[in-house]
Amino acid sequence: MSEINALLHAGLLVSDLARAKTFYETVLGLKLYPNRPDLPYPGEWYELGNGQQLHLMRLPNPDAGSLRPEHGGRDRHIALGVKDMAALASRLDAAGVKYTASRSGRAALFCRDPDANTLEFVEVG
97 has pLDDT over 70: yes
What is the Cα–Cα distance from 115 to 123, expressed in whole angstroms? Answer: 24
pLDDT digits (tens, 9 = 90+) for 36-86: 999 999 999 999 999 999 999 999 998 888 888 888 888 999 999 999 999
List of long-range contacts for 48-52, beta carbons under 8 Å, 24+ apart? 48/80, 51/6, 51/8, 52/6, 52/7, 52/8, 52/9
Mean pLDDT of the region 2-29:
95
Q: What is the pLDDT of residue 43?
A: 98
Residue 85 and residue 125 in contact, taking contact as beta carbons nearer than 8 Å: no
Q: What is the pLDDT of residue 20?
A: 98
Residue 118 and residue 75 in contact, taking contact as beta carbons nearer than 8 Å: yes
- Of residues 8 and 1, more confidently modeled: 8
Domain map of the chain by residue range? 9-60+70-123
Q: What is the pLDDT of residue 1?
A: 64
Q: What is the pLDDT of residue 93?
A: 98
pLDDT digits (tens, 9 = 90+) for 99-114: 999 988 888 999 999 9
2 has pLDDT over 90: no
Task: For the domain covering 9-60+70-123, report its CATH number.
Answer: 3.10.180.10
pTM of the predicted protein model: 0.92
